[in-house]
Amino acid sequence: MQDKIPFTSVRPIHSLDLLSQREMASLVAVDDSVHQLFRRCALAVLNTGSDSDDTREIYSRYADFEVRVVPESRGLKVELFNAPAQAFVDGRMIRGIRGHLFAALRDIVYIHHKLNQGQRFDLGSGEGLTDTVFRILRNAGIVRSNIQPRLVVCWGGHSISRAEYDFTKEVGYQLGLRGLDIATGCGPGAMKGPMKGATIGHAKQFNENCRYVGITEPGIIAAEPPNPIVNELVILPDIEKRLEAFLRLAHGIIIFPGGAGTVEEILYLLGVKMQQANRDVPLPVIMAAPASSGGYFAQVDRFLRSTLGDEVATQYEIIIDDPEAVARRMQEGTAALRHQRIQTRESFSFNWGLAIPHDLQLPFHPSHENMAALRLHRQQPVDTLAADLRRAFSGIVAGNVKEVGVRAVAEQGPFQLHGDPALVAELKGLLEGFINEGRMKLDASSYRPCFELAAG
């Protein structure tokens, strides 16, 4: 079977604004960082359906892959060399993948030229960072003024059991029957299951214009390429803006079992919801799992209570083995949110009223030095501890699947994390559980921890 397509060229399915000469130049120059970023994201998109989350292996296998943006009088085309054959059927690129390819081009060009070069946004303040997230989402067509509150964000791991995957599909089916749309991190596993289930629910109800929103960032897209159901893709510049986009867009959040990345998302969410300023801002949160995985959220709940205090449990609801109850509660929650937004004259499409601490918005670079400097102790405000715990899990995700993190661990050894003995013990128990259950990577048999924990 053919593994690569030696050469092909494609044009956008729908209209794409013409790139300026300056923008085109950055994508044409092979040595330019923007071109290389687009090349990596393009390869990730074309690798949809891969059974590997090893970014180094993917980049090595397709080391001869190249992409070239060619300007034309009627727009542009993209030429591909040695592209993954799985993105094609009878020599023609799958339309959904083709759409994702040009979505990646759109976001990378916009972010680079509007943010990095133009400096048209204030990246030094919380308000400026939120404005940045909004403009990226608006440019991608994700923010829409005429959509009712029905977008449910679903979080969970890419490496989950079959029973967990089937459960996510059933929850998605129940959401679709109730007219609710889905947004996920766009990858496989718990990110694909809810979308797949929702397609059946929507079809049975003859729902039209259904949304399957995928929100990703360059560091993770190769390990979690967009699944085939995503019909709206947006690439944010970093994990912090990605997480803020989830919360600003969400009308409700469902969390399924996952690994370090899922706990990172939970900690970010709780760091926001526990703010006094957000006490009256409705955002329903449900943790859901099949009966066979009921112990997963019992363990997560215990970890959260032991580190952040029992009050944290008021911010979420846990429902085990009842997809209909999950969907009903989410439908009730989005209805209450709609009522509140009408009363306060807030936007349906973007939650401007949510207060997000500035330190949660600032990009964290998981170097060995930065990971070792994290303050994992209880002698500090709860939201500050939640923020540093979030950064710790972000670093573990980087060490597991992100190219830069994997390379740093390979060269310098595991990240070192230090903290209170009791907190370190809780953290160790949680992470060891993830390792034993194969939640860190798809190839669990060969997984070696990218971190070491120590009290002190």
Summarised one tens digit per residue, pLDDT across range 219-275 is: 899 888 999 899 999 999 999 999 999 999 999 999 999 999 999 999 999 999 999
With 60 as the cut, is the pLDDT of residue 122 above it?
A: yes
- Closest C-alpha among 36, 45, 108 to residue 67: 36
Q: DSSP E strands: which ranges in 356-455?
A: 415-419, 451-455
Mean of all residue pLDDT scores within the chain: 92
| Tens-place pLDDT, residues 34-85 | 888 899 999 999 998 777 788 888 888 999 999 998 877 666 889 999 999 9
| Tens-place pLDDT, residues 404-424 | 999 999 999 999 999 999 999
- Closest C-alpha among 137, 72, 74, 140 to residue 105: 140
What pLDDT is attached to residue 33? Answer: 81
| Tens-place pLDDT, residues 380-395 | 999 899 999 999 999 9
Q: Mention every residue, 6+ apart, whose C-beta is less than 8 A from residue 125.
A: 358
CA distance 88 to 68: 18
User: Residue holding tokens 């990605």?
Assistant: 242
- Closest C-alpha among 62, 109, 88 to residue 10: 88
What pLDDT is attached to residue 190? Answer: 97
> What percent of the chain has a predicted confidence (pLDDT) above 70?
94
With 80 as the cut, is the pLDDT of residue 209 above it?
A: yes
- Closest C-alpha among 322, 320, 270 to residue 296: 320
What pLDDT is attached to residue 383? Answer: 87
Name the DSSP class of 231. Answer: -
- Closest C-alpha among 135, 148, 193 to residue 167: 193
What pLDDT is attached to residue 236? Answer: 96
Q: How confident is the model at residue 367 (pLDDT cuts 50, 70, 90)?
A: very high
Q: What angle do CA 395, 400, 406 make, to 5 degrees?
A: 85
Other Cβ atoms within 10 Å of 382 Cβ, number: 16
Task: Output the DSSP codes for 125-159.
Answer: SHHHHHHHHHHHHHHTT---TT--S-EEEEE--SS
Cα–Cα distances (Å) from 190 to 70, 78, 199, 439, 442, in that order, read: 37, 32, 15, 12, 13
232: which strand partners? Answer: 213
Q: With 0-12 CB in 10 A as exposed, 13-18 as middle and 19+ as buried, what is 318?
A: middle
Q: How confident is the model at residue 24 (pLDDT cuts 50, 70, 90)?
A: low
Task: Output the DSSP codes for 256-282.
Answer: -S-SHHHHHHHHHHHHHHTSGGGTT--
| Tens-place pLDDT, residues 302-355 | 999 999 999 999 999 999 999 999 999 999 999 999 999 999 999 999 999 999
With 90 as the cut, is the pLDDT of residue 19 above it?
A: no
91 sits in the region (left: phi over 0; alpha: psi -120 to 50; else beta) called left
**CB 276, CB 357: distance < 8 Å:** no
What pLDDT is attached to residue 440? Answer: 92
What pLDDT is attached to residue 73? Answer: 66
Other Cβ atoms within 10 Å of 437 Cβ, number: 19
Other Cβ atoms within 10 Å of 294 Cβ, number: 14
CA distance 142 to 349: 9
What pLDDT is attached to residue 53? Answer: 82
Cα–Cα distances (Å) from 371 to 55, 74, 282, 398, 450, in that order, read: 21, 49, 33, 11, 12
Q: Where are the domains of the chain?
A: 4-120, 144-344, 358-455
Max intra-chain CA distance, the chain? 65
Which run of H or E residues covers position 21? helix 21-28
With 90 as the cut, is the pLDDT of residue 119 above it?
A: no
CA distance 142 to 146: 11
Helices (H) and strands (E) in the chain, counts: 17, 14
- pTM confidence score: 0.94
Q: How confident is the model at residue 123 (pLDDT cuts 50, 70, 90)?
A: confident
Per-residue tokens: 287: 């943790």
Per-residue tokens: 96: 């959904």
CATH of 4-120, one of 3.30.1850.10, 3.40.50.2300, 3.40.430.10, 3.40.50.720: 3.30.1850.10
Higher pLDDT among residues 144 and 17, named by residue: 144
Per CATH, the architecture of 144-344 is what?
3-Layer(aba) Sandwich (3.40)
Rg of the Cα trace of the chain? 21
CA distance 422 to 442: 30
452: which strand partners? Answer: 416
Q: Mention every residue, 6+ apart, whose C-beta is less than 8 A from residue 383.
A: 271, 274, 275, 357
Per-residue tokens: 419: 């903290």
**CB 183, CB 160: distance < 8 Å:** no
